[in-house]
């Protein structure tokens, strides 16, 4: 079985369609892996933490995909959500806040190194 960690970094505030295309393809990748029976997890990091307030809205273009893979979403980077002003929104939308890697000067981030060590392939969008 393949182990895939999908990392969403795209910024919805960039003002272009590219960011929407990236989050769309990230969730499609998670959906495809889930359908295949692969082990898949989704993390929102960097400016990608800002998606948490958008994709949960029923009228958002990727909401259906979000609903189809939300059981595969590990959560949102704590340190990144703090930096990009997304923590309160992420928490209010029910996303787990991940701070397993104690990075100096931050409130912690997900550990991509531990996922690689566990055999995950990282795919970033």
Read off the pLDDT of residues 35-93 as tens digits, 9 standing for 90 and up. Answer: 999 999 999 999 999 999 999 999 999 999 999 999 999 999 999 999 999 999 999 99
For the entire predicted model, the pTM comes to 0.96
Q: How far is CA 27 from CA 32, 67, 74, 101, 107, in A?
A: 8, 10, 13, 24, 26
CA of residue 30 relative to chain centroid, distance: 10
CATH number of the domain that 73 lies in? 3.40.1260
Number of domains in the chain: 1
Range of the domain at 96: 3-124
Q: What is the pLDDT of residue 15?
A: 79
What number is the average pLDDT over the span 115-120?
98
């Amino acid at each position: 079985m393949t182990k895939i960690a999908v990392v969403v970094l795209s910024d919805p505030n960039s003002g272009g369609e590219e960011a929407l295309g990236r989050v769309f393809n990230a969730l499609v990748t998670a959906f495809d892996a889930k359908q295949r029976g692969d082990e898949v997890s989704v993390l929102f990091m960097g400016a990608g933490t800002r998606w948490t307030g958008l994709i949960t809205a029923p009228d958002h273009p990727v909401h259906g995909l979000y609903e189809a893979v939300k059981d595969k979403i590990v959560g949102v980077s704590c340190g990144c959500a703090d930096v990009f002003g997304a923590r309160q929104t992420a928490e209010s939308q029910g996303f787990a806040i991940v701070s397993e890697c104690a990075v100096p000067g931050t409130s912690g981030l997900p550990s991509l190194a531990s996922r690689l060590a566990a055999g995950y392939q990282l795919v970033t969008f």
